[in-house]
Structure 1
Amino acid sequence: MKLDIVILAAGQGTRMKSSLPKVLHPVAGRPMLAHVIATARALDPVAIHVVVGHGADEVRTALAGEDLNWVVQAQQLGTGDAVLQALPDIAGDSVVLVLYGDVPLIETATLRALVAQADQAPALLTAEVGDPQGYGRIIRAADGSVVAVVEEKDANPEQRALREVNSGVLAAPASLLARYLPAVGNANSQGEYYLPDVLGLAVSDGLAVAAQLALSEIEILGVNDRVQLAAVEREYQLRRAHAFMREGVAIADPRRFDLRGTLHCGRDVSIDVNVVLEGEVSLGDGVSIGPNCVLRDVAIGAGSTVHAMSHLEGAVLAENTSVGPFARLRPGTRMAAGARIGNFVETKNADIGVASKVNHLTYIGDCAMGEGVNIGAGTITCNYDGVNKHRTTIGDGVFVGSNSTLVAPVEIADGGFVAAGSTLTMAVGENELAVARGRQRNIQGWQRPNSSNKEGH
């Protein structure tokens, strides 16, 4: 069976109250439309046709690089009209599956079951919901076959009481859609051409319309406002959390898990609450991530720990490293085995050597650090002169005392020792002690100045 997929993404989404086209609002860090496209690709279609209208250029730009056939619906005249715009690009012997760019949680297995029933006649995806408000209701004949879908605005009280609703997702032979869609009228409260109206035309022709029931109500949830967007986000994250937990990842609270990219985990990984994972994240065996951390495009080696409130981006950590709490690792940070970065430390474009320690209140930028180095509290590498960046090179076994300033470019050779409070501007040789601070003077009889402005205290 040849399959073409049409994704409707032309609506403005006025209830979102946003200048961003509705289908570009993110779920797990990606536009809703991107999720629908990924599900569509899993069905191996001949082509994916995306119907755009409001914000068409912005939508195309956001999905640049995707192999898609873009179709413009110049006027938003309803779902039937939208599908009609795509039909000229679809072969008559294909089956057409219609999806929606604002329904991102639909499952591939559900769609496969739906398409399998649509080789001769239309097939509709339905769902049993607790609150059917806003949905078209499914009207069935005495034998259980679907005879029509009535939109809520056009339904009578008896029809509105029905709990089986139309998801909007439909599959049908392209030849039938080409016959029925031009015959669909717009005599309804919205003055639009509704795609489900083809079902009544098919029934009139004696065709049996199949209905595939969705596995869950959330699967067909369309996003019309930010409340529904948040519900979809939480459901997506819960699904991902449960999948990782089944693979052995310990997630403290799956309802406070946020994956906005791709995560690879080894065995016995532990993730505490409110951790945000973005981009490409890899966690080796036994890695522990504390609460309220952000990891973006990082790889962390086995046995390592990231303590609470730490922010890591573009960093690579070897095995048995320790970070935080309250640490910030910026892009280009590389930690060798056993290295430690403590609280209120910021690093950028820095190599931290094997078993080296930068424990607290420190900035290390544009630095190559050897093995077994100890950096005291309050130390900074002065890597920027206002125009250019310069590097600091620190050899093996170096000790840098607290509150030291290393003015790059500067080098400290193996075994060097920098006295606390030093401002270093020249190289330090092997096993040398560098003392670069002003001489202390104690002035006897000194009097504190008295302020004449008493109100200033």
Structure 2
Amino acid sequence: MTPTTTMDLVILAGGRGRRMGTLRPKVLLPLAGVSSLEWVLRTSDAFASARRIAILGYSAEDITPVLRDRRVEVMTLEPVLGPVHALTALDLSDAPDHTVVVLPADVPLLRRETLAALLAHRTTSTAALTMVSAVSERPYGLMRVLRSEAGEVIGLVGEKDASRQQRSIRECTSGVFACAAPVLRAALASFAWDTVERERTLVELVAALRRAGHDVDAISATVPHEIRGINSQTELAEASAIMRQTKCEELMSAGVTIIDPATTYVGPDVEVGHDTVLHPNVYLEGRTRVGSACEIHAGTRLVDATLEDHVVILNYCVVTDSTVRSRAQLGPFAHIRPGSDVGEDARVGNYVELKKTTLGKASKASHLTYLGDATVGEDVNVGAGVITCNYDGVNKHRTVIGDGAFVGSDSQLVAPVTIGRGAFVAAGSSITRDVPDEGLGIARSRQENKDGWARKRRQ
């Protein structure tokens, strides 16, 4: 064969995955923060010069939106009678220097380095097809690679068809391969698809190539678990654990302290600065960015959150799509809902909820408080039990609290309302009108004591 000069990366995402026990296509099930399909797309993203094609079948209408804006051509085939049959959707070139690289979307652990090694090997290999194999400690369910005494690949055998001796083989593959386009085209034409009794796999394709006199070879995966496929919920969970461990190792090598990596869940797109400490059962998801020298305690969940440097988050807090500025402290049990901004040196304490609220520098809301649709200035003290009444049943309204204001405990601020700079709100007040700068707002009934009332009632 002449050196490869053109290439198609073909992503197979047409299978249903009945063994997963779900109606959703298995390639869209979550795996360490993103779908299995997304992992494969990210692996192939590094090869910008290649034409990428996704072949869909089951639930194509659910998968197609995921591929938008990803520079991927979409082809649909229904029904899909196995991964080899899916390739019949391609209009294969007859150019001898054209290679088709097949990436099953349910083999998400394949690394870019291994894919690059496969492509590099194809530029010099004289074999018609090159697969990615690995020596697996637990080969159950994988195709075994059969070799001659001279070490040449002579075929594959699936788990169900393997003899006891063949099942003892540890070199396996799961369907990642590269093949010369004209050879693949001829092999596909040799199958009688109208009489197929079961799915066609790489086992049958390799057998067809060998019958036609073609050589087949293999390269070894960089890491053995790369060839693992996802065919059950158990395998999905195991692959997720591998991905999470890999991410934790990446962070720890960059100076992040993770107390217990086994219980720390960090998504693939999360960034964490050096000298930050992550305690057990911390969940960092989405596009979360954590600065340097932060400390995040157990049970905390951050989703699309941004934390600047030296932030402390105590136990069991939730922060979603919000920003926490330097040296701020949250929790325990604080809930920061989308659109909020917690200022430098600010404090948000026990059972405090913020929603679309800006809390200024060095301001405090320490206990049992709800601040929704509010703008709170600097050095403001918000007492326990304060709520902003931001919803009138139809519309949301804003509350503005000026710098240096003091809002007494158990007060209700009925929006729209403004508390002026340096103003006070007396505890237990229901404020419905603006309080001027340096003023006092008080709105409660006058207390009246009745001497002896309790003694008379007991009698």
TM-score class, shorter = over 0.9
* Aligned match for 1:210, one of 187, 193, 217: 217
What residue number does 1:270 align with?
277
- Alignment-mate amino acid for residue 230 of structure 2: V
Change (3 A) 1:89 1:390: farther
Please state if 1:33 is matched with 2:37.
Answer: yes
Mapped pair 1:389 → 2:396: yes
Residue-by-residue CA offset, 1:9-37 (whole Å, 9 max, x unaligned): 11111111111011111112322111111
Distance in 1, matches of 2:108 and 2:410, equals 53
Equivalence for 1:108: 112
The amino acid of 2:151's aligned partner reads G
Distance (Å, rounded) in 2 between the aligned partners of 1:130 and 1:448: 81
- Matched with 2:431 is 424
SS of residue matched to 1:229:
helix
> Which residue matches 1:236?
243
One-letter code of the match for 1:250? T
Distance 1:439 1:242, change over 3 A: same
In 2, are the aligned partners of 1:372 and 1:396 still within 8 Å (CA)?
A: yes
Q: Map 1:16-415; keep pairs closer than 5 Å.
A: 16-88=20-92, 93-119=97-123, 120-121=126-127, 122-184=129-191, 191-204=198-211, 206-260=213-267, 262-415=269-422
TM-score by length of 1: 0.92
CA separation in 2, counterparts of 1:24 and 1:94?
Answer: 30
Aligned to 1:453: none
Q: Deviation string for 1:151-181 (max 9, x for gaps)?
A: 2333333223322222211111112111222
Query: Secondary structure of the equivalent of 2:8?
Result: strand
CA spacing shift, 1:31–1:130, aligned 2, 3 Å: same
Does the aligned pair in 1 maintain the 2:282–2:300 contact within 8 Å? yes
In structure 1, the residue matched to 2:453 is 445
Within 1, Cα distance between the matches of 2:159 and 2:373? 63
Structure 1 contact 186–192 (Cα < 8 Å) conserved: no
Q: Give the Å deviation of 1:90.
A: 8.5
SS at match of 1:255: helix
Q: 1 CA distance for matches of 2:269 and 2:84?
A: 36
Look up the equivalent residue of 2:39 and give its one-letter code.
Answer: H
Contact in 2 for aligned 1:43/1:108 (Cα 8 Å):
no
- Residues 225/45 of structure 1: CA separation in 2 closer, same or farther (3 Å cut): farther
Q: SS state of the match for residue 154, structure 1?
A: coil
How many equivalent residue pairs? 450
Which segment is superposed worse, 273-282 or 234-243?
Answer: 273-282
Instruction: Determine helix, strand or coil for the equivalent of 2:118.
Output: helix
Q: How far 1:344 moved relative to its partner? A: 0.4
- Offset from partner CA, 1:226-262 (integer Å, 9 cap, x none): 1111101111011011011111111111122223352
> Counterparts of 2:394 and 2:63 in 1: how far apart (Å)?
39
For residue 388 of structure 2, give the secondary structure of its aligned residue in structure 1: strand
How far apart are the structure 1 equivalents of 2:58 and 2:102? 19
Is residue 107–residue 174 contact of structure 2 (8 Å, CA) maintained in 1? no
Contact 1:4 1:45 in 2 (8 A): no
Question: Do the aligned residues in 1 keep the contact of 2:136 with 2:225 (CA within 8 Å)?
Answer: no
What amino acid is aligned across from residue 180 of structure 1 in structure 2?
A: A
Q: Deviations along 1:67-100, whole A, 9 cap, x unmatched?
A: 2122222222222221222244786532111111
Closer, same or farther: CA 184–139 of 1 in aligned 2, 3 Å = farther
Deviation at 1:190, TM superposition (A): 5.1
CA drift at 1:323: 0.8
In structure 2, what is the equivalent of residue 454 of structure 1? none
Give the C-alpha shift of residue 317 in structure 1: 1.8
2: CA distance, partners of 1:90 / 1:440: 94
Q: Judging changes above 3 Å, is the alpha-carbon distance between structure 1 residues 379 and 90 closer, same or farther for their aligned structure 2 residues?
A: farther
**What SS is found at the alignment partner of 1:238?**
helix
The 3 A distance-change label for structure 1 pair 413 and 380 is: same
Q: Helix, strand or coil for the counterpart of 1:35?
A: helix
Structure 1 unaligned blocks of 5 or more: 451-457
1:173-195, Cα deviation, whole Å (9 max, x unpaired): 11211122222468999533333
Residue 15 of structure 1 is matched in structure 2 by: 19
Unmatched runs of 5 consecutive residues or more in structure 2: none
Residues of 2 paired with 1:19 and 1:198: CA distance?
29
Query: 3-state SS of the aligned residue for 1:169?
Result: strand
Report how far residue 272 of structure 1 moved. Answer: 1.4
CA contact (8 A) 1:185 1:193 kept: no
- Is contact 1:10–1:52 with CA below 8 Å preserved after alignment? yes
Q: TM-score, normalising length from structure 2?
A: 0.92
**Contact in 1 for aligned 2:293/2:311 (Cα 8 Å):** yes
Q: Is the alpha carbon distance of 1:342 and 1:143 closer, same or farther for their aligned partners in structure 2, counting shifts above 3 Å? A: same
Distance 2:147 2:394 in 1: 74
Distance 1:295 1:449, change over 3 A: farther
Q: Indicate conservation of the 8 Å contact 1:127/1:167, yes or no.
A: no
Give 1:421 deviation, angstroms: 1.0
Q: Cα offset for 1:8? A: 1.4
By how many angstroms is 1:266 displaced?
2.5
Post-superposition Cα deviations, 1:118-163, rounded to whole Å, max 9, x if no partner, equal 3432111112222332222211111101011122333333223322
